[in-house]
Amino acid sequence: MTDDLKDAESIEAADQKYVMRPWTHPKGEPVIVAKAKGCTVTDVHGKQYLDLTAGYFVNNAGHCHPRIAEAASKQMHEVLQVSGKHGTVATIKLAKKLVELTPKSVDKVFFSTGGSEANEFALKAARQYTKKSDIAYLENGYHGLTLGSLEVTASEKYRESAGKPMGGENYAIPTAYCYRCKFGPHKECNVQCLDGVDKMFDARPNTAAIIAEVVQAVGGLAPPKKWWERLDEIRKARGILLIADEVQTGLGRTGKMFAVEHYGLEPEILTGGKGLSGGVGSLAATLASDAVAKAFFGGTTPTSGGNAVSSAAGYELIRILEDEKLVENAASVGTYFTEAAWALKDPWIGDVRFTGLLGGIELVKNTETREVLGKTEMGKVKDTLHDLGMLITVSGLHGNVLRLQPPLSFTNEMVDQFCAALRKALQTVRGS
Ligand SMILES: Cc1ncc(COP(=O)(O)O)c(C=O)c1O
């Protein structure tokens, strides 16, 4: 710390003065983190939070895992960065591990630095291979903020940030938001939401690929198995590629190493990022089948694609997930979380959706009508949780979902701690 950044106040003042944060600020944010360990972060004031964001869904084995720190520092004495034009043992080891852990439909890895970038390369590769230009994306889908990835991201709020019209080649197809099903309520789901999709593809014969989060992170939307089976069958019959965006769902988040495993999907392209660097620097990957990889011409390499230190840390992260059985832990703690949240029997809890530790609690004014809880109340719930030492984000199509994605080392006791805070927050806001 330099002399003029000697206390919490001067650090926060310098943050305001020098750091650009072009988005709206909920009360209490940003939290300037001084130290982080496991599932806990401590801010510059010394206040501790249980981190239900895992450092924005990155630190899957918990903050500052000693094995990751050791693997990264060991690598730092060997080689740091040589670019994708050459290679390092660390990067090749990670590529091999990723191919071994993902479906047999993908064979090779292209490294870049962030999830948006990995998706950009996925879109390019799909277009080059199929020689078609159009991309279908799911309503409610999120694939990043760079211009290409933004064009296949559904949210208007984000799309407007481009400052230009979005490309007309890309179009949205229905997603499965079962809690707010347009065709419900019904006793049995017949996947009616996909009834019109064949017609949409008929009108777009130039469709190269569907890009989709297998489980949508915004609000934790996991489609029923038959929804994915039907969409997969339709797209395969038409030779449309599947790009599975596992930037957020990958590396154990959903209680499987990759979310495609829940549905038996075999995408031709799969992207990953976030935790892939073990939280050290930034690393992302575009995996592709041999055929797609062969047709892919990248031009040149992204400068920092496949940093050796990030690769060594990411490889170690995967080994920790395996050794400490954190993927299995995510599955069981996710189930416990679901039960504990429902057990609160709170009149504002409309839906609880956990796939492993990719979780969302949807808050409503009325559980019968499912009217969404208003922005003001949502803000107050988040602020109260924040005051009670719970670091979370708010998400969802209507901004009424508490997004709960802690490190995969989260425990049942921590769930109890969070649920006690949630009970208090909901009661306090309702009473205010
Ligand atoms: C599903 C998904 N895809 C892509 C991205 C973009 O990744 P990045 O922020 O690393 O560019 C994100 C980030 O939140 C994501 O959740």
**Over residues 241-252, mean pLDDT:** 98
Q: Which tokens go with 225?
A: 């198995």
User: Does 2 score more than 60 pLDDT?
Assistant: no
pTM of the model: 0.97
Pocket test for ligand 1, best of 113, 116, 149 (most atoms within 8 A of CB): 116
Q: Are residues 337 and 393 in the same domain?
A: yes
Give me ligand 1 centre to Cα 217, in Å.
Answer: 10
294 lies in the same domain as 389: no
Distance 56 CA to ligand 1 centre (A): 10
**Residue where one domain finishes, among candidates 323, 357, 389:** 323
pLDDT above 70 coverage of the chain, percent = 99
Q: Are residues 252 and 376 in the same domain?
A: no
Shared domain for 299 and 416, answered yes or no, is: no
- Distance, CA of 432 to CA of 430 (rounded, Å): 6
Using a 6 Å cutoff on CB, does residue 63 contact ligand 1? no
| In a shared domain, residues 132 and 278 | yes
If asked whether residues 165 and 122 sit together in one domain, one would say yes
Q: Is the pLDDT of residue 228 over 90?
A: yes
- Minimum-distance ligand 1 atom for the alpha carbon of 249: 1
In angstroms, rounded to a whole number, what is the distance separating the alpha carbons of residues 164 and 152? Answer: 14
* Ligand 1 geometric centre to CA of 144 (Å): 5
Q: pLDDT category, 199, cuts 50, 70, 90?
A: very high
pLDDT at res. 388: 97
Mean per-residue pLDDT for 345-358?
Answer: 98
Question: Degrees (nearest 5) of the Cα angle 334, 283, 97?
Answer: 70
* Residue 141 shares a structural domain with residue 282: yes
- E strands in 201-357: 207-212, 241-245, 269-272, 284-288, 349-355
Q: Is residue 3 part of a domain?
A: no
Which of 56, 117, 248 to mutate for ligand 1's pocket (most ligand atoms within 8 Å of CB)? 248
Q: How far is the CA of 34 from the centre of ligand 1 (A)?
A: 25
| Ligand 1 contact via 248 beta carbon (within 6 Å) | yes
Same domain membership, residue 153 and residue 299: yes
Q: How far apart are CA 49 and CA 67, in angstroms?
A: 23
Q: How far is the CA of 117 from the centre of ligand 1 (A)?
A: 9
Atom of ligand 1 nearest to the CA of 117: 11
Q: Whose CA is nearest to atom 9 of ligand 1?
A: 115
Structure confidence at residue 126 (pLDDT): 98
* pLDDT tens digits for range 139-155: 999 999 999 999 999 99
Task: Tell the residue nearest (CA) to atom 16 of ligand 1.
Answer: 248
- Report the pLDDT value the prediction gives residue 395, as an integer from 0 to 100: 92
Residue 129 shares a structural domain with residue 145:
yes
User: Domain containing 405 — which CATH number?
Assistant: 3.90.1150.10
CA distances (Å), 22 to each of 84, 104, 204, in order? 32, 41, 36
Residue 139 · residue 170 · CB < 8 Å: no
CB distance 213 to ligand 1 below 6 Å: yes
Q: Which atom of ligand 1 is nearest to the CA of 213?
A: 1
User: What's the domain count of the chain?
Assistant: 2
Q: What is the mean pLDDT of residues 306-323?
A: 98
**At 292, which CATH number?**
3.40.640.10
The whole-number average pLDDT for the span 82-100 is 95
Domain boundary among 323, 356, 388: 323
Convert the pLDDT of each residue in 152-191 to its tens digit.
999 998 999 999 999 889 999 999 999 999 997 778 899 9
Among 58-62, 86-90, 201-205, 302-306, which stretch is predicted with the lowest mean pLDDT?
302-306
Same structural domain, 268 and 164: yes
Q: Is residue 292 part of a domain?
A: yes
In a domain, 22, yes or no: no
The SS3 assignment for 91 reads: helix
Please work out whether the CB of residue 116 comes within 6 Å of at least one atom of ligand 1: yes
pLDDT at residue 300 in the model: 85
Residue 219 has a pLDDT of 83
CA 194 to ligand 1 centroid distance, Å: 25
Domain of 238 in residue numbering reads as 67-323
Are 227 and 311 members of one domain? yes
DSSP 3-state of 404? strand
Distances (CA, A) of 203 to 137, 197, 198, 210: 15, 10, 9, 15
